[in-house]
Amino acid sequence: MSTITLKVNGATHTVDVEPLTPLLYVLRNDLGLQGPRFGCGLGQCGACTVIINGVATRSCITPTSAVKDEITTLEGIAKDGKLHPLQQAWIDEQVPQCGFCQNGQIMTAKALLDRNPHPTDAQIRQGMAGTLCRCMTYYRIQAAIKRAAQVVA
């Protein structure tokens, strides 16, 4: 075990874990941030996505000790009590079915819009392609991203 300091959603935390522990378990089990969820543990589905340095990052395959920059989780993207435009669009479009994957959908979409505020349909499909939903809400997710892009712009 070793002491690791993490900055998450503006707050600093110190945890005592094995350095190679995937970040996902530290966020969920030590810091109580349960927006990111275990889907595959292989970096293939996206349910565990957080944003580090502007990049949508699969926390299930990211060693905790490798994280040097601030981590943003789903719990951290609302500002001043107001939902992020993507979260609001997700509600307005009534996107989720079971909702289990939607952390990854929203966080991946946020990283996408942060670097490209006006994505084309093709860019949305490509940018989101690795983030899986087994309730298959893809059509509605894409509508919500387009809706949010109008607000963010």
Which ranges of 77-152 would DSSP assign to H, the alpha helix? Answer: 85-92, 102-115, 121-128, 138-152
Per the DSSP assignment, residues forming a β-bridge with 11 are: 8
Q: From the CB of 5, what's the least distance to other proteins, in Å?
A: 19
Q: How far is the CB of 55 from other proteins (least distance, A)?
A: 18
The distance of closest approach from Cβ of residue 113 to other proteins in the complex, given in angstroms and rounded to an integer, is 15
Q: Residues 36, 59: contact at Cβ < 8 Å? A: yes
* Nearest approach, Cβ of residue 130 and other proteins (Å): 7
* Residue number, 55 or 78, with CB nearest to other proteins: 78
Inter-residue contact 37 to 47 (CB < 8 Å): yes
Report the interface residues with other proteins, using CB under 8 A: 1, 17-18, 21-22, 25, 28-29, 33-35, 37-42, 44-45, 47, 73-75, 78, 83, 87, 90-91, 94-103, 106, 121, 124-126, 128-142
| CB nearer other proteins, residue 17 or residue 67 | 17
CB of 137 to other proteins, least distance (A): 6
CB 25 within 8 A of CB 15: no
Nearer to other proteins, 5 or 94 (CB): 94
With contact defined as beta carbons under 8 Å apart, do 98 and 135 qualify? yes
Instruction: Give the HSE-up count for residue 72: Cα atoms under 13 Å, Cβ half-sphere.
Output: 17
